[in-house]
Amino acid sequence: MQLARNNDIADYLIEPDPLRADLTRSVNGTDQNGTVQTISVVEERPLTIYLNAQEIVTAMTIGDYPEYLALGFLRNQGMLLEDDDITGVDYDEDLDVVVVRTARETSYEDKLKKKTRTSGCAVGTVFGDMMEGLEDVQLPATKVRTSWLYDLAAKINRTPSLYLEAGAIHGTVLCRENAPLVYMEDVGRHNAVDKIAGWMLRHDRVAEDKILYTTGRLTSEMVIKTAMMGIPVLASRSGFTAWGVEIAREVGLTLIGRMRGQRFICLAGEDRLIRDVDPASVKVEAGKHGRKGGRA
Amino acid sequence: MQLARNNDIADYLIEPDPLRADLTRSVNGTDQNGTVQTISVVEERPLTIYLNAQEIVTAMTIGDYPEYLALGFLRNQGMLLEDDDITGVDYDEDLDVVVVRTARETSYEDKLKKKTRTSGCAVGTVFGDMMEGLEDVQLPATKVRTSWLYDLAAKINRTPSLYLEAGAIHGTVLCRENAPLVYMEDVGRHNAVDKIAGWMLRHDRVAEDKILYTTGRLTSEMVIKTAMMGIPVLASRSGFTAWGVEIAREVGLTLIGRMRGQRFICLAGEDRLIRDVDPASVKVEAGKHGRKGGRA
């Protein structure tokens, strides 16, 4: 068992709550034999995010951490600055609205006009220039042990989650060394990342010793978000896009994909990998916990 | 073999071209053993869509059918009307720009201001009101044979594709009865759907006898797009969201998910299913062709 020799790993600070009643719904259908089946499906609800008096966006989310989602979204869009004094984060459950307030007066009319529809995305839009602010980013050359990566994958895959309960959802996990710390899920995989960004902002966590693990694909936007968050390592079960790889190499992000069982591919930051475990000694995933490689 | 008794199925009108040189790139990385590996990853490039003089959006796409993508995107956003006279579709490869021209003067300033960030999505945005126009939609009660669904899944999974070549990509296939007709792939799954919408618009195809098969999740936006295209059946290997199911039931869309091997679940439109084949007689997928259940 991969985790046996690492029983000193920290507990999660936040983990999925698959039994929380408002995150899933039971619906009836029929299976291939015509038998009525009751299955559990994830909820998807709108959340409108305001920055001070300005309506910024309506996000479709499972709705579990609206405040973190709003904070992280605004931070990752560059609409909340590093030194911004956040004077309030008010969530109105009845209106499905979060208002983030800052001491600084904000106005992003121009930014909201420029739209980039991103990959993995419906009619996805990144506001402003996707690459804006990225030219200054050079991530710290944090070392990564391959034993951590195997430990993280094994622990995350065994963690009870909405994915295991209802499927059709993405997960992203903030980790340090071999310990998963904050495990967020959402119908939109970037919501999951934004909720982590919001958590980090609220709790003033440093990024340079962190690893971000995602179930989704390593597209340009995923790489850009991770880099903007200052996290030097991004790992996934899924695959890559060419531009994602290119940006990771430019900003010094260690990029590891196609992580399944013993296997992985490192396409950027190979010099930071410490290969401290023989892959042949890594236990392969049990079918039950073998997550599918999502293509989101 | 499931397809053996259906050799009279039509050939694809459009199928993936996984060997087309500009859609993938070879990159070097190292695997778990430190061995250098050259793998194929999909390209992801910006395409800016104009409607007449107005810049509408920049989409991240693999770039294979820019004209269909532009037409389908604008149609699915309700910016191209059914009776619009399209006077030109001009693609400039050097500028990564497509301009769609109409006889009607268009202006969507107000619509572009309203943003909904969709699920499955980075910083996804649906312009205008997501549900706009949907209240009038009632899809035809087209019957669906379960033998068609099994045939389609078997044929699509065996079709050479960018997914099989490089992974990290979504596929959507327009089908009629048991014949897949147009198979589009893209880094953004909704680009794949929009390319199909553009193809249908350009070739003036009816929707009422069609089936849409997707590798992605059956979220609200996916259900809304299919309904807006007038296609009465949506099938997927992946799972559902609660709102997707709710909308499908409202508009009369037959919704089938979790289709893998012999299994599937029908969550809407059960009364249109003709169960003409014994699931036990359906051959299970060979591992090589067993697509993963994406969570995009």
- Over its C-alpha atoms, chain B yields an Rg (Å, rounded) of 19
User: Residue A125 and residue B124: Cβ atoms within 8 Å?
Assistant: yes
Residues contacting residue A152 through CB under 8 Å, at least 6 positions apart: A173, A175, A178, A179, A180, A211, A213, A235
Alpha-carbon distance of B184 to B214, in angstroms, equals 10
> What is the pLDDT, as a whole number, of residue B124?
41
Instruction: Write the DSSP symbol of residue A33.
Output: T
Alpha-carbon distance of A45 to A37, in angstroms, equals 24
Alpha-carbon distance of B264 to B260, in angstroms, equals 6
Question: Residue A48 is inside which H or E element, if any?
Answer: strand A45-51
Which residues in chain B touch residue A38, judged by CB atoms under 8 angstroms apart? none
Least confident range of A84-98, B41-55, B115-129: B115-129
Which residues in chain A touch residue B244, judged by CB atoms under 8 angstroms apart? 44
Which residues in chain B touch residue A56, judged by CB atoms under 8 angstroms apart? 115
Degrees, nearest 5: CA angle B110-B114-B120: 145
pLDDT digits (tens, 9 = 90+) for B251-293: 999 999 999 999 999 999 999 999 999 999 998 765 555 565 4
Instruction: Write the DSSP symbol of residue A128.
Output: S
Alpha-carbon distance of B268 to A41, in angstroms, equals 14
Which residues in chain B touch residue A189, judged by CB atoms under 8 angstroms apart? 120-122, 295-296
The pLDDT of A41-58, averaged and rounded, is 91
Residue predicted with more confidence, A32 or B190 = A32
Q: Does B73 touch chain A if contact means CB atoms closer than 8 Å?
A: yes
The pLDDT of A144-171, averaged and rounded, is 94
What single-letter amino acid sits at A24? T
State the Cα torsion B130-B131-B133-B138 to the nearest 10°: 130
User: How would residue B76 be classed by pLDDT, with cut points 50, 70 and 90?
Assistant: confident
Degrees, nearest 5: CA angle A134-A239-B187: 75
Which residue in the block uniquely carries the two structure tokens 């090589």? B288
User: How would residue B246 be classed by pLDDT, with cut points 50, 70 and 90?
Assistant: very high
The pLDDT of A8-27, averaged and rounded, is 87
**Considering CB atoms only, which of A122, A239, A245 is closest to B126?**
A122
Residues contacting residue B225 through CB under 8 Å, at least 6 positions apart: B76, B190, B193, B194, B197
**Considering CB atoms only, which of A30, A122, A244 is closest to B118?**
A122
Closest to B16 (Cα-Cα) out of B146, B166, B171: B171
User: How would residue A121 be classed by pLDDT, with cut points 50, 70 and 90?
Assistant: very low
Residue of B nearest to A112 (CA): B113
Q: Does A34 touch chain B if contact means CB atoms closer than 8 Å?
A: yes
> What is the pLDDT, as a whole number, of residue A122?
35
User: How would residue B115 be classed by pLDDT, with cut points 50, 70 and 90?
Assistant: low
What is the DSSP pairing of strand B254-260 with strand B263-268? antiparallel
Joined tokens for residue A192: 């999951």
Q: String of b and e for B242-268 (b: at least 16 CB within 10 Å)?
A: bbbbbbbebbbbbbbbbbbebebbbbb
> What is the pLDDT, as a whole number, of residue A34?
96
The pLDDT of B146-151, averaged and rounded, is 97
> What is the pLDDT, as a whole number, of residue B53?
92
Least confident range of A110-119, B243-252, B268-277: A110-119
**Considering CB atoms only, which of A112, A168, A240 is closest to B241?**
A168
User: Residue A125 and residue B125: Cβ atoms within 8 Å?
Assistant: yes
Which residue in the block uniquely carries the two structure tokens 């909308």? B247
- DSSP, collapsed to helix, strand or coil, labels residue A130 as coil
Residue predicted with more confidence, A127 or B250 = B250
Report whether pLDDT(B126) > 80. Answer: no
Report whether pLDDT(B135) > 60. Answer: yes
Which residues in chain A touch residue B30, judged by CB atoms under 8 angstroms apart? 265-266, 270, 273
User: Residue B242 and residue A25: Cβ atoms within 8 Å?
Assistant: yes
The pLDDT of B140-168, averaged and rounded, is 95
Residue predicted with more confidence, B138 or B136 = B138
Which residues in chain B touch residue A117, judged by CB atoms under 8 angstroms apart? 57-60, 125, 188, 191
Which residues in chain B touch residue A219, judged by CB atoms under 8 angstroms apart? 44, 60, 122, 168, 187
The pLDDT of B38-52, averaged and rounded, is 94
User: How would residue A123 be classed by pLDDT, with cut points 50, 70 and 90?
Assistant: very low
Helix H, strand E, coil C: the string for chain B is CHHHHHCCCCCCCECCCCCCHHHEEEEEEEECCCCEEEEEEECCEEEEEEECCEEEEEEEECCCCHHHHHHHHHHHCCCCCCCCCEEEEEEECCCCEEEEEECCCCCCHHHHHCEEECCCCCCECEECCCCCCHHHCCCCCCCEEHHHHHHHHHHHHHCCCHHHHHCCCEEEEEEECCEEEEEEEECCHHHHHHHHHHHHHHCCCCCCCEEEEECCCECHHHHHHHHHCCCCEEEECCCEEHHHHHHHHHHCCEEEEEEECCEEEEEECHHHEECCCCHHHCCCCCHHHCCCCCCC
Joined tokens for residue B229: 């295209």
> What is the pLDDT, as a whole number, of residue B284?
74
Q: Does B163 touch chain A if contact means CB atoms closer than 8 Å?
A: yes
What is the torsional sign of CA A218, A220, A226, A231?
positive
Joined tokens for residue A289: 């916990």
Residue predicted with more confidence, B135 or B47 = B47
> What is the pLDDT, as a whole number, of residue A58?
84
Q: Does A112 touch chain B if contact means CB atoms closer than 8 Å?
A: yes
Q: Does B274 touch chain A if contact means CB atoms closer than 8 Å?
A: no
Closest to B155 (Cα-Cα) out of B15, B256, B296: B15
Alpha-carbon distance of A25 to B104, in angstroms, equals 45
Q: Does A57 touch chain B if contact means CB atoms closer than 8 Å?
A: yes
Alpha-carbon distance of B93 to B95, in angstroms, equals 6
Report whether pLDDT(B6) > 70. Answer: no
Helices (H), A79-219: 109-113, 146-158, 162-166, 189-202
User: Residue A57 and residue B118: Cβ atoms within 8 Å?
Assistant: no
> What is the pLDDT, as a whole number, of residue A242?
95
pLDDT digits (tens, 9 = 90+) for A208-251: 999 999 999 999 889 999 999 999 999 999 999 999 999 999 99
Report whether pLDDT(B294) > 60. Answer: no
Q: Does A59 touch chain B if contact means CB atoms closer than 8 Å?
A: yes
- Whole-model pTM: value is 0.89
Alpha-carbon distance of B59 to A241, in angstroms, equals 15
The pLDDT of A21-42, averaged and rounded, is 96
Report whether pLDDT(A72) > 70. Answer: yes
Report whether pLDDT(A292) > 70. Answer: no
Degrees, nearest 5: CA angle A197-A201-A203: 115
> What is the pLDDT, as a whole number, of residue B7?
42
Residue predicted with more confidence, B286 or A255 = A255
> What is the pLDDT, as a whole number, of residue A204?
87
Least confident range of A151-160, A223-232, B22-31, B111-120: B111-120
User: Residue A264 and residue B31: Cβ atoms within 8 Å?
Assistant: yes
Which residues in chain A touch residue B73, judged by CB atoms under 8 angstroms apart? 123
pLDDT digits (tens, 9 = 90+) for B203-239: 989 999 999 999 999 998 899 999 999 999 999 999 9
Q: Does B187 touch chain A if contact means CB atoms closer than 8 Å?
A: yes
> What is the pLDDT, as a whole number, of residue A114?
58
